[in-house]
Amino acid sequence: MMIDLMAAEVIADPYPFLAQERDRHDIAWHEDMGMYLTFTHELSSAVLRDRRLGRVWIDREPASYLEPFNLLHRNQMMENEPPEHTRLRRPVAAAFQRGHVERLRPRVQALAGQLLDELGPSFDAIEDFAEPLPVLMIAELLGVPNADVASLRAWSQAIVRMYEPGPTQEVIDAAVVAAQEFADFSRQLVAARRSQPLDNDLITELAASELSDDEVVAAVVLLLNAGHEASVNVFGNGLVGLLRSGSRPADDPSLTVEEMLRFDSALQLFERTAMKPVQLGEVLLEPGQKVAALLGAANRDPAVFADPDHFVADRDPNNHLAFGAGLHFCLGSPLARMELVESLTVLFQRYPGLRLDGDPTSRGTFVLRGYTHVSVSG
């Protein structure tokens, strides 16, 4: 019987179940999801890199009710292929180049220190530290007022729950409301920047680009969502893995960040649709068929990673797929890596004896894996 990705025991710890599937097959059809799933690093990498496999957005039904959600996604770069993908990606790419990210490093260090200044010996590593830092940074990059940061997080949480298999009506309703409110908020920001441009402000640059109003709004929402959602979950998942292993960050903390990304992947599944016939292992995908790379399975593949179920703080090399690969490789990965290195470094400078206080609280989701609470003390 194929793995049930929404089973409580799988959500709690998917990796033994993914390993069992990987021992049985490299790729297999999942009837409930209506697509093939890959379980090895080799095939998952192939799915992400093969240009015959693309992101093809199809509006969720009922389309009229779900229009606020659909509108944001059909105009996003990650839901399109070239030439549309190229056109949508170009205006935002400069913001995440290495030079610009490096200029933000002192600001990340300062914000991390300020957040820790407010904490005592015991705190919630998610709510008090991992969540506010990346939200504040991506809001600052875009030019969103700090007063609106709480709304951004709530909207994002509601929208991303739609990415899980079989969302309930309650989840769907909340996502529609959040998508509408998020879009309205973004339109107001875009209109304000068009009437009064600001310097070093990404929304000002997007508003002055060739993108349509709907495309600018979709870009702003994508950047605000993706710009913090992955960072929060990578930090929480990775910190739990690090502390449970009894380790501390390596002398080169960037190695530990890469292991945090690999060990307990924040994004577990990424879909593609065949646009031409594609051979994947023993399976021939026909045009229109879907396949999903299971990134968590790929990142624990013993064919690539020695002792893959153990957290190795100085693992090197570390050829994980946490940021994807190929055309849709995460645009914000330089910023995310920098934020993670600096926040991890500052945290352990302040709390060298940091430890877990009890079991962390899971989000209860598979595709976007993470914790809502991680109690720690030091």
Domain range annotation of the chain: 8-377
Query: How far, in Å, CA of 23 to CA of 40, rounded?
Result: 9
Closest CA to 34 of 330, 271, 331: 271
- For residue 274, pLDDT over 80 is answered with yes
Domain 8-377 homologous superfamily, CATH: Cytochrome P450 (1.10.630.10)
Contact assessment for residue 107 and residue 146, using Cβ atoms and an 8 Å cutoff? no
Dig out the tokens for 341 from the structure. Answer: 């290195």
Residue 151 annotated among the catalytic residues of the structure: no
Helix (H, G, I), strand (E, B) or coil at 377: strand
Task: Give me 259's structure tokens.
Answer: 């292991």
What average pLDDT does the segment 244-253 reach? Answer: 96
Give residue-wise pLDDT tens across range 225-236: 877 788 899 999
Which residues neighbour 255 within 8 Å (Cβ) at sequence distance 6 or greater? Answer: 313, 314, 315, 316, 318
What pLDDT is attached to residue 272? 97
**Nearest-angstrom CA–CA distance, 232 and 336:** 10
Give the separation between CA 304 and CA 18, rounded to whole angstroms.
15
Residue 98 pLDDT: 60
Pairing of strands 371-373, 290-294: unpaired
Residues of the chain with pLDDT > 90, as a percent, come to 72
Report, as an integer, the average pLDDT of 7-13: 95
| pLDDT number for residue 261 | 97
pTM above 0.85, yes or no: yes
Query: Amino acid letter at 353?
Result: G
Looking at residue 95, what DSSP letter applies?
A: G
339 catalytic? Reply is yes
Q: From CA 371, how far away is CA 19, in angstroms rounded?
A: 22
Is 205 annotated in the active site?
no
Task: Kindly indicate the confidence band of residue 221, based on its pLDDT and cuts at 50, 70 and 90.
Answer: confident
* Rounded Cα gap, residues 372 and 369, in angstroms: 10
Write down the catalytic residue from 207, 218, 330, 336. 330
* Per-chain mean pLDDT for the chain: 92
Question: Average pLDDT in the 140-153 region?
Answer: 82
Please tell me which residue in 175, 207, 226, 322 is annotated as part of the active site. 226
Any catalytic annotation for residue 330? yes
Residue 271 falls in the annotated catalytic set: no
Instruction: For the sheet with 122-124, list strands across it.
Output: 122-124, 375-377, 355-356
Most confident of 110-124, 205-219, 223-237: 110-124
Mind spelling out the 3-state secondary structure of 130-170? HCHHHHHHHHHHHCCCHHHHHHHHHHHHHHHHHHCCCCCHH
State which H helix or E strand residue 283 sits in: strand 283-285
Helices (H) and strands (E) in the chain, counts: 14, 12
pLDDT tens-digit profile of 36-87?
A: 999 999 999 999 999 999 998 999 999 999 999 999 999 999 999 999 999 9
Query: Of the listed 231, 265, 293, 322, which one is catalytic?
Result: 231
